[in-house]
Amino acid sequence: MRCQVAIIGAGPAGLSLAHMLHLQGIDSIVIEHRSRDYVEQRVRAGILEQVSVDLLTDIGLGDRLHANAMVHDGFYIRFDRQTHHLNLHARSGRHSYVYGQSEVVHDLIEARIATGRPLVFSAEDVAVSGIDTDRPTVTYSVDQQTFEVNADFVAGCDGSQGVCRTLAPAGAVTRYAHSYPMAWLGILARTAPVTAEGMYCAHPDGLSLHSMRGPNITRQYLQVPADTDLREWSDERIWKELLRRSESDDHPALETGEIFDRSLAHLRSEVIQPMQYGSLFLLGDAAHIVPPTGAKGLNLALSDACVLSHALGGFYRSGRTDFLERYSTTALPRVWQAQAFSTKLTAALHQLSDNPFDYELRRAQLQRWVTSEAEQDAMSEVYFGLPFPTPWNFH
Ligand code: FAD
Ligand code: DHB
């Protein structure tokens, strides 16, 4: 098969890129190694920036989102048993939206299927070759039959465990990485949220985060050591710790209830630079990982897709190569801003050391956030999303 762009991975990066390319008349194939059910049911992100919602609306994917998303003005921070609401909407006129990643992916899959363009699930042995030429090839097999795709470009959208991030030869890219000795134990529970918007509790013993996916579904996280064994965390133990870390003098205690999903996510930061080698472009988690604090990962995947869609639009519509050449330098500043933001939030909200000095430093930062209008202005700029570096389409 011959196509313009071969996209590896049907997560938010790959599917949104495929859709934006389709809208510009550029053909692509999306090759995903998991099943559709698996991809749609994977429990992950849940908070969309205003700029992401604006993009999804602009590319025709706003209907279900606007009908179902919870629209938030900001979030709560709790420390020293006191709860503070950061109304960032009041400072910026913008919002964040609670809309599960699985919903975003579902909408994108439906949109892709409606176009009739190829989307392959359960592909095995996905391999990419020839990225240092202008005719890269992707091979994969389905039901023991092997397929070959000859493309102009390959978009590596296969996440942090995929193959694309390993393809550039040693020395051609630099990996900047930082790992934390901790993880988030995440649950989904059938309970009503205790606060109307998400709440970060910066307990001296570690973060608890109380988010939601609907009026009666909560998504909650506990900071735990990196070597945590999930089997050692009974429902009872999870609720006890969530209750303990979120105790306050100004709100009722959390509601407890049935936990119907649990998982562990390790915290780490990584950026691969440049995000391009030859005819291979890396997007989303394949190019960079941010710690989940601040909810940036999915939003960054959409912003990378926007930048590449614009650059490919320039190439196919006007023969311009300069936007493609600048893909990495265009996308990276926003990536590093998200890294800086997530790192700062992570440091203030988690227990990263036993030294009481460090807790006092965290408290000083938290106090600035809940009292300073200048800090809240700065927070709202990044929390609701810095502008995407380019439009998604090329005019
Ligand atoms: P992925 O979603 O990982 O998609 C990659 C796809 O490629 C997958 O479908 C995978 O199956 C496929 N694939 C892998 N290898 C291959 C292969 N060899 N061949 C073919 N296909 C392959 N982000 C936010 O913005 N907001 C949040 O609130 C938020 N919360 C989070 C909470 C947690 C606990 C975690 C873990 C992450 C969170 N994130 C959040 C991050 C967000 O989920 C990711 O950044 C996002 O999924 C990145 O999208 P992606 O398309 O780049 O990668
Ligand atoms: C989620 C919410 C957050 O505020 C965050 O920082 C990370 C994740 C969530 O709802 O999954």
Q: Which domains does the chain have, with CATH numbers?
A: 5-177+267-383 (3.50.50.60)
Gap between the Cα atoms of 289 and 267, Å rounded:
9
Band (71; pLDDT cuts 50, 70, 90):
very high
Q: Ligand 2: which of 86, 208, 211 to mutate, most ligand atoms within 8 Å of CB?
A: 211
Gap between the Cα atoms of 86 and 80, Å rounded:
16
**Span 169-206, pLDDT tens digits:** 989 999 999 999 999 999 999 999 989 999 999 999 99
As a whole number, mean pLDDT of residues 116-136 equals 97
As a whole number, mean pLDDT of residues 39-68 equals 96
Among 20, 92, 2, CA closest to 301 = 20
- Which two structure tokens, joined as six digits, stand for 12? 């938010």
Write the DSSP symbol of residue 5. Answer: E
Write the DSSP symbol of residue 219. Answer: E
Q: Is 33 assigned a catalytic role? A: no
- Which two structure tokens, joined as six digits, stand for 11? 């997560």
Among 328, 391, 324, 327, CA closest to 4 = 324
Gap between the Cα atoms of 193 and 198, Å rounded:
8
DSSP characters over 310-375: HHHHHHHHH---HHHHTHHHHHHHHHHHHHHHHHHHHHHHS---S-HHHHHHHHHHHHHHHH-HHH
Active-site entry in 118, 136, 193, 292: 292
Active-site entry in 72, 203, 310, 350: 72
**Span 142-156, pLDDT tens digits:** 999 999 999 999 999
Q: Is the backbone peptide bond immediately before 181 cis, with ω within 30 degrees of 0?
A: no
Q: Ligand 1: which of 33, 41, 44, 307 to mutate, most ligand atoms within 8 Å of CB?
A: 44
Which residues share a beta bridge with 29?
6
Among 11, 18, 12, CA closest to 33 = 11
Q: What are phi and psi of 25, to 5 degrees?
A: 80, 20
Gap between the Cα atoms of 164 and 157, Å rounded:
8
pLDDT reading at 374 higher than 90 = yes
Q: Residue 139: nearest ligand to its CA?
A: 1
Q: Is 99 assigned a catalytic role? A: no
Atom of ligand 2 nearest to the CA of 75: 4
pLDDT reading at 65 higher than 90 = yes
Among 248, 291, 287, CA closest to 266 = 291
Atom 26, ligand 1: which residue's CA is nearest?
Answer: 295
CB 362 within 8 A of CB 354: no
Evaluate the CA torsion angle 32, 179, 367, 186 in order and state its sign: positive
pLDDT of residue 44: 87
Residue holding tokens 């209008």? 373
State the distance from the centre of ligand 2 to the C-alpha of 156, rounded, in angstroms: 25
pLDDT reading at 45 higher than 90 = no
pLDDT of residue 142: 98
As a whole number, mean pLDDT of residues 241-246 equals 98
Q: What are phi and psi of 3, to 5 degrees?
A: -150, 170
Q: Is 22 assigned a catalytic role? A: no
Q: Is 79 helix (H, G, I), strand (E, B) or coil?
A: strand
Q: Ligand 1: which of 50, 72, 101, 306 to mutate, most ligand atoms within 8 Å of CB?
A: 101
Q: Is 344 assigned a catalytic role? A: no
Strands 70-72 and 96-98: antiparallel
pLDDT of residue 99: 97
Gap between the Cα atoms of 190 and 192, Å rounded:
7
CB 313 within 8 A of CB 394: yes
Gap between the Cα atoms of 128 and 145, Å rounded:
17
Neighbours of 342 (CB within 10 A): 23
Task: Name the strands in the sheet holding 174-189, side by side, starting at the edge strand that comes first in the sequence.
Answer: 82-87, 74-79, 199-203, 206-214, 217-225, 174-189, 259-273, 288-289
CB of 219 shorter than 6 A to ligand 2 = yes
Active-site entry in 296, 316, 359, 389: 296
Band (218; pLDDT cuts 50, 70, 90):
very high
pLDDT of residue 247: 98
CB 222 within 8 A of CB 184: yes
- Which two structure tokens, joined as six digits, stand for 205? 């013993």
State the distance from the centre of ligand 1 to the C-alpha of 32, rounded, in angstroms: 12
> Mean pLDDT for the chain?
97
pLDDT of residue 395: 87
Band (278; pLDDT cuts 50, 70, 90):
very high
CB 21 within 8 A of CB 28: yes
Residue holding tokens 């460090």? 358
Residue holding tokens 């559709």? 36
What is the number of residues in the chain? Answer: 395
Q: Give the angle 116-62-161 at the CA atoms, nearest 5°.
A: 65
As a whole number, mean pLDDT of residues 15-36 equals 98
CB of 289 shorter than 6 A to ligand 2 = no
